[in-house]
Amino acid sequence: MLRFFKTTPPTALLGLFIILSVAIMGVFAPFLAPYGETEVVGAAYMPWDSVHLLGTDNLGRDMLSRVIYGARNTVGLALLTTAIAFTVGATLGIYAALKGGWVDQVVSRAVDVLMAVPPLILALMLLAIVGPSIPNMVLVIAVIYVAPVFRLARASSMNIVVLDFVQAARLRGEGNLWLISREILPNITSTLVAEFGLRFCFVFLFIAALSFLGLGIQPPTADWGSMVKENATLITFGDITPLIPAAAIAVLTIGINFVVDWMLHKASGLKD
């Protein structure tokens, strides 16, 4: 552990601390929050005091409690969405590179069509059709981000499938599952892990943006994006309360990028 702290740069340690803090806040939200997620505890827009450290929102709910619960909802859903997108996109990308031919062409052209539409416009259109519920939002964003994950996994795998050890495994009669899990995936894991961190940031910000527009996580569920929208009126009076969930989004994004940069540096094999 001492060696880890000595060899890890300060920015990566800061990023790990931020991620760990948000994770603890989300997991133990019911124990850390002074009030319930939807509990009305006072008048609307109460100022900061010793009882309500961050005041209250537009409905009289404790802002500090909402920020804590928002970590669970926003970050948790972003993690789930990113995991779905990566599982589907990486599997399709590796399989397309392995099989080649018409399989690669069909899947690649379908992904090109999906990427031709701007992500936010596509998400707004699909959510307007299927309805702005949490399951629909997760599936829509996951489908949108399958495309860039597919292209990365395919491009990384194309450099591996032509190597001798993959050809030797094919000559031994190994199946596609073995080739994907034992021969190709271990050689592109570092690239996928780094991309997972970056893609998580994009998904996280995407969910917050949709919630701000009213098509993401729906009230009364606490969400950092919707909290900015609900309390934006206070900004005109010089109150920085709406900026607190926005700052939480920014700090977590910066922390994740610090860790991803460190992981990319380690994967590159560079010493300095």
Confidence band (pLDDT; 50, 70, 90) for 139?
very high
Residue 74's pLDDT is what?
A: 83
48 in any annotated domain: no
Q: What is the dihedral of CA 41, 214, 72, 221, to 10 degrees?
A: 40
Is residue 252 within 8 Å of 98, Cβ to Cβ? no
5 in any annotated domain: no
208 in any annotated domain: yes
Residues 166-184: tens digit of each pLDDT? 888 888 877 888 888 888 8
Q: H helices of the chain, where?
A: 2-7, 10-27, 29-32, 63-70, 76-99, 101-115, 119-130, 134-158, 164-171, 176-178, 185-213, 224-230, 243-268
Residue 272's pLDDT is what?
A: 54
Closest C-alpha to 99, from 154, 151, 52, 36: 154
CATH number of the domain within which 131 lies: 1.10.3720.10
8 in any annotated domain: no
Number of domains in the chain: 1
33 in any annotated domain: no
108 in any annotated domain: yes
Residues 188-236: tens digit of each pLDDT? 887 888 888 888 888 888 888 888 887 888 878 888 888 888 888 888 8
24 in any annotated domain: no
- The pTM of the full predicted model, rounded to 2 decimals, is 0.83
**Alpha-carbon separation of residue 21 from 17, 80, 173, 251 (angstroms):** 6, 19, 48, 11
Mean pLDDT confidence for 35-56: 87
81 in any annotated domain: yes
Give the structural domain span for 222: 54-268
